Amino acid sequence: MVGIAHPARNPMSHPLLERHLERQSIKPLYLFYGNEEFLMRRALARLEEGLRDRWGEAPVRVLREVQEVQEVELPELAESRVAFPDAPKKVEKKYGLPEFLAESRVASLWGPGQLLVLRRLKLNAAAFEAVNAYLDHPAPRAWVVLLAEGVKARDWGRNPVWERLQRQEAALGFFRPKEAELYQWLTREAGSLGKTLTLAAAQRLVEIVGDNLAELIQELEKLALYAGAEKSLTPNLVNQLATHSRTANIFALVEALGEPGAHKRLSALGQLLDLGEPPPRILVMLARQLRLMILLKEGGAGGAAYQSRSLSLPPRVLKLLAQQAPRFSEAALRSHLSLLHQIDWQLKTSGGLPRLWLEWALLKMGPG
């Protein structure tokens, strides 16, 4: 028997899933789709918590990825080794959706059952056919979650199996909140922590941390602990505690490039390294920011909304880039990008200490 757990903090995962948990009407199969994997992981954790049995035991979790390659021993191979001792003991076999769904039918007779999770599912006609067959005869004491990261509803809206999943409230979409929605989401999250987050504080938190939901939650939880008995989380409190994220620091590093002295550049680099960011990744992020500023300059007119769409950037990020780009000429940006490519080549071919190469590059770079 499955009982619904009620943890002290119970953040919303997905409205439909929350309703299923509350009514104890959990579906045998869910399809999670969309572009926000943090929300998918949260919903998966909520489902796992809700599937605990009356003694508090969680279901056995089976996590797989589509097209995993598994080594299996086939009976004919075992027989052939009698005559041919040097014959291979195992053979590689592709692991796909049919094999994954078959696993749901080999659950233990005891315990709370199985929660089977398949990641990186590519939707196609064959996948829908397998899902449809499973929905006709779901396995007992098993719950299946298929993660189709990046899939949009409009891609499959007319597919009859997709429509069936929608009717059964088993296809749940998880999407990255837009800027205005992000502030509302943070306000709800603060409420689940017993705190009130002002709009100005939410805006300041996003400005400092960025729009990565996992990092925002981490900082919000720190703020709630730091506030103690204080109910309201204010911009001043955010400024006191919020640790600069990697996103904020890469902007700080680009900002420092626009100033004559090298001290701020090296300081910003040190902060990124202190956050655990490996030097090769810093190189990649810095090169990306330079490319975006070049594209921004090349784009010229068109308005903020047009540029945001054409560069696939949130308005907040575009605003920061637009503030930084005028400090550099297009020639300087291209020169800096060329220097970073040289550093990348040096690191890949001749080795050396990555931090020293990065520091040398930053000393060479500057406004212009």
- Whole-angstrom distance, CA of residue 72 vs CA of residue 14: 38
Q: How far is CA 344 from CA 266, 289, 368, in A?
A: 18, 16, 23
- Whole-angstrom distance, CA of residue 219 vs CA of residue 176: 18
pLDDT tens digits, 197-215: 999 999 888 877 778 898 8
Instruction: Please check whether residue 141 is in contact with residue 107, taking contact to mean a CB–CB distance below 8 angstroms.
Output: yes
Amino acid, res. 240:
Q
Nearest to 171 by CA among 347, 360, 331, 31: 31
Question: Has residue 249 got a pLDDT over 80?
Answer: no
Listed in sequence order, the DSSP H helices in the chain are 15-23, 37-50, 75-83, 97-103, 125-136, 160-167, 179-192, 199-209, 213-227, 235-241, 246-257, 263-274, 279-299, 303-311, 315-324, 330-349, 354-364
Of 105-114, 163-172, 276-285, 304-313, the poorest mean pLDDT is in 304-313
Instruction: Say if domain 180-241 classifies as CATH 3.40.50.150.
Output: no
Question: Has residue 77 got a pLDDT over 70?
Answer: no
Q: Report residue 334's pLDDT band, with 50, 70 and 90 as the boundaries.
A: very high
- Mean pLDDT estimate for the chain: 82
Please state the rounded mean pLDDT for residues 131-144: 95
pLDDT tens digits, 42-67: 999 999 999 987 777 888 888 888 76
Domain 27-174's class?
alpha beta
Of 79-93, 128-142, 155-169, 234-248, the poorest mean pLDDT is in 79-93
- Whole-angstrom distance, CA of residue 280 vs CA of residue 282: 5
Q: How many CA atoms lie within 13 A of 282 on its CB side?
A: 32
Residue ranges per domain, the chain? 27-174, 180-241, 246-364
Please state the rounded mean pLDDT for residues 296-310: 61
Tokens linked to 337: 């990008």
Kindly report the CATH number that applies to the domain delimited by 246-364: 1.20.272.10
Q: Report residue 83's pLDDT band, with 50, 70 and 90 as the boundaries.
A: low
* HEC readout, 71-135: EECCHHHHHHHHHCCCCCCCEEEEECHHHHHHHHHHCCCCCCCEEEEEECCCCCHHHHHHHHHHH
Please state the rounded mean pLDDT for residues 345-362: 84
- Whole-angstrom distance, CA of residue 117 vs CA of residue 30: 10
Q: How are beta strands 142-149 and 29-34 bridged, if at all?
A: parallel
pLDDT tens digits, 26-37: 999 999 999 999
Instruction: Please check whether residue 117 is in contact with residue 44, taking contact to mean a CB–CB distance below 8 angstroms.
Output: yes
Euclidean distance between the first and the last CA atom of the chain, given in angstroms as a whole number:
69
Q: Residue 89: its pLDDT value, please?
A: 54
The residue written with tokens 């989380």 in the block is 233
Please state the rounded mean pLDDT for residues 219-238: 89
Q: Residue 30: its pLDDT value, please?
A: 98
Q: Residue 274: its pLDDT value, please?
A: 82
Nearest to 11 by CA among 38, 51, 31: 38
- Whole-angstrom distance, CA of residue 137 vs CA of residue 119: 22
Q: Report residue 9's pLDDT band, with 50, 70 and 90 as the boundaries.
A: very low
3 state DSSP class of 69: strand
Neighbours of 272 (CB within 10 A): 23
Crossing angle between the packed helical segments 213-227 and 179-192, to the nearest 10 degrees: 40
